[in-house]
Amino acid sequence: MNKLLPAESLGDIPSLLQRYASGELTPSLMVQKVHALMQDDPGNVWIHKLPLETLKGYAFAAETRNKSGVELPLYGIPFAIKDNIDLAGIPTTAACPAFAYTPQYHAMVVQRLIDAGAIPIGKTNLDQFATGLNGTRSPYGACRNAFNPEYISGGSSSGSAVALAKGLVCFSLGTDTAGSGRVPAAFNNLIGYKPTRGSLSTRGVVPACRSLDCVSIFALTAADAERILEVTTGYDAEDIYSRRGEGYGKDSAVPCLPEQNFRFGVPRNQQLQFFGNQESERLFTEAVAKLQALGGEAVEIDFAPFLEAARLLYEGPWVAERYAAIQQFFDLHGDQVIAPVREIIGGAKRYSAADAYNGLYRLRALKRETDRAWTETDCMLTPTAGTLYTVEAMQQDPIRLNANLGYYTNFMNLLDYAAVAVPAGFQKDGLPFGITLAGPARQDQPLLRLAGRIQQAYGLPLGATGIPLQKEKEGSPGKPFHGSSQVLQPGQSSGQIRVAVCGAHLSGLPLNGQLTSRRGRLVASTTTSPDYRLYALPGDPPKRPGLIRVDRDEQGAAIEVEVWELPVGEFGSFVAGIPAPLGIGTITLENGEAVQSFLCERYAVADAEDISRFEGWRGYLRQLRNS
C-alpha cells in the first residue's frame, strides 16, 4: 500500500466541516493547501487545475454567504470534476484537445453543488470521450492507480477517483455509462455511486450514450454520497432525460421490524468470473459472508440474461449512440481521436436503423427476465470488477482487457438499475477490491444505506490516505455550517404509503392481486396492538373483514395483519375500490408504529360474527375449513 499523504489530507465531509466548526481551518486556507498539494501530479490526475485566485474567489463567496446566515450543506467542501462536465469559464476537453470548448455556464449538477457551498478544485483526466474502463486512453497520459502506479486506475472517470483517493478533495464527480463511476472506485478504495438514470441532470455533460449516461459520485463514505445526492438530485425541465423523483419502497438497509432481514442475489458459481485472480475470488467469498453476517440471505440468481444485456452495449447497436454523440467532430477530425476510442466509435457505422430496433426489442425481453430477480431479492451483489491489470498489460491488449472490466457493469444502465460500488478489502499485494450492490431504479437510498452498513462492518481506511473510517459527526449549535444527511428511522419510507391488510388482501388470498398489480411490496407480517376486534361481515364470499378499535373498558385482541407498501400514485385507486362500510384509517401495530389500514364503521358489526378469538383472518378460514 502507498505511503500516507501529509496531514493536510482532507478526509470525509463531516471531518472537514468539523475542522471549520472548530475554527482550526477556513475555506480560504483550505484552498491554499489543496492548491499547493495538487501541483505535483505524477499520476496524471488533472487536465486543468484552477488558479489559486479563482479558488480563493469560490472560498470567499462561500464564507460570505455563510456569515450572512445562508444554509450551506456543503460549506467549503472541495470537489473535483471529470472533464466532460462543464465548469463555466474553464475548457471542457473530454480528453481530446481538438474537441475543447469553453462553456458559459456550469453543468446543472455543478451549479447545485456550488449553490450548496462546495468549491470546485479542477477538471480531471478521463478515458477520451468517456469510452473505456481503464484510465489509459488519454492524450494527457495514463492516470495511475492511487495505491500502485504500475496499475490502472480504472476509467473512464479515472482522475476524479484518484484525486479523491489521494485526499485532495472530499468528493468528486464522474460519469457512468458502462461502469465508469464504479470500476475506478473499486480500484482506488472508494464509494462509487451510480444513480438511477435521470436522477441527476446531465445538462452540461458531454454525452457518451445520451440515453444511458449518468453523472456519478465518488465519495469516501456512503453517508457522504447520500449527502451529495440530496444536494444534486432533482428534476431538470431542460434535460430531456431527467425524471421526476419517486419513492423507493422497502428500505432493506433499515428494516421496519427487528425480525426483518434482507435477501441479496448472487450469480451462480459457474457464472462468476475473476479472470484468473484468486485474490478477487477469495475477497468476494468473504463479502458474501459479510452480508450474511449483517442479516442478509444469499439467493442464487441466473446471471445469463444480465450478461447478454451487457454485450449489447459494445457488441450491439448502442455503440452507434457514441458515434451520434460526436458525429460531426468525428467525421471531420477522426484522426484526433486516439486509436482504441477511434476503433470503437468508428465501428458503429456498420449498424442500421433496423439493428437499433432489433436491439431495443431484445433488450426489452431481457429486462423482463432480469427484473424477475427483484421478486425474490432486495438487491444483487457482484464484484465490481473481476480483476485489476497493470498499465503495461492494458496498453498491450486494450480491447479484450477493457471488456473484462465491464463484465459486472455494462448491463446496469441498459436495464435501468441503480448501483453502489463499495470497498471490500485488499489483496495480499495491497491493491484494493470492491463489490457492487445493485437494485431496481429508485432504490438509490436503500442501496447507499446498506453500503454504509457494509463499510462500518469492514472498518477499512478511506481512499488511499489511511484516514480511519468513522461515524458521521454533526456540528454543534451555533457553528458556522449547516446540513447533514437525513437518515430515515425504522418504519419510514420515501414516496410510499404503508397499509395494513387483515382479510382477503393477505398474501395468497383472493384479493391480494389488488396490491401486487399496483407494485405493492410486502414489508412485514405482524399484529396490531392488543386493542382491536375483528369481525366477518355478512355478505357473499369472499367475506370482508371488519376491524375496529375497542374502547378502554372493552376486551381487545392482537389481530394478524400484513403491512404492504404502495407507491403514492397507486394508493388513490386502491382506496377508491374499498366498499362501504369499510374505509381507510390509522391503526397501531404491536411495535407502536402507526400505519394506514382497513377499518370498519361500528354500525356494520352489530350483526357480524366476532372472530377475534381466531387472532386473524387466516385462523378464521382454517376454522371454516375444519367445521
Q: Which residues are catalytic?
A: 82, 156, 180
Strand order in the sheet with 496-501: 521-527, 560-567, 496-501, 594-600, 582-588
CA–CA gap between residue 462 and residue 369 (Å, rounded): 37
| Beta carbons of 276 and 387 less than 8 angstroms apart | yes
- Going by the DSSP 8-state scheme, the letter that residue 92 receives in this structure is B
If DSSP codes are grouped into helix, strand and coil, which group holds residue 243? coil
12: which residues sit within 8 A by CB, 6+ positions away? 170, 219, 220, 221, 223, 224, 462, 467, 470
H or E element, residue 56: helix 52-67
CA–CA gap between residue 426 and residue 449 (Å, rounded): 22
Going from the C-alpha of 107 to that of each of 229, 238, 492, the distances in angstroms are: 15, 12, 33
Pairing of strands 417-426, 532-536: unpaired
Pairing of strands 560-567, 521-527: antiparallel
CA–CA gap between residue 336 and residue 349 (Å, rounded): 18
* C-alpha radius of gyration, the chain, whole number: 27
Residue 262 bridge partners (DSSP): 296
CA–CA gap between residue 327 and residue 346 (Å, rounded): 10
If DSSP codes are grouped into helix, strand and coil, which group holds residue 468? coil
CA–CA gap between residue 56 and residue 27 (Å, rounded): 8
Numbers of helices and strands, H then E, in the chain: 20, 19
Residue 216 bridge partners (DSSP): 174
| Beta carbons of 284 and 437 less than 8 angstroms apart | no
Going from the C-alpha of 489 to that of each of 273, 451, 499, 568, the distances in angstroms are: 38, 17, 18, 19
Characterize 86-106 residue by residue with b for buried, 16 or more Cβ atoms within 10 angstroms of its Cβ, and e for exposed: bbeebbbbbbbeebeeebeeb
φ, ψ for residue 447, nearest 5 deg: -65, -40
Name residue, grid cell 472508494: 190
| Beta carbons of 424 and 280 less than 8 angstroms apart | no
CA–CA gap between residue 114 and residue 181 (Å, rounded): 21
Compute how many other C-beta atoms are within 10 angstroms of the C-beta atom of residue 610.
Answer: 13
Name residue, grid cell 468476494: 284
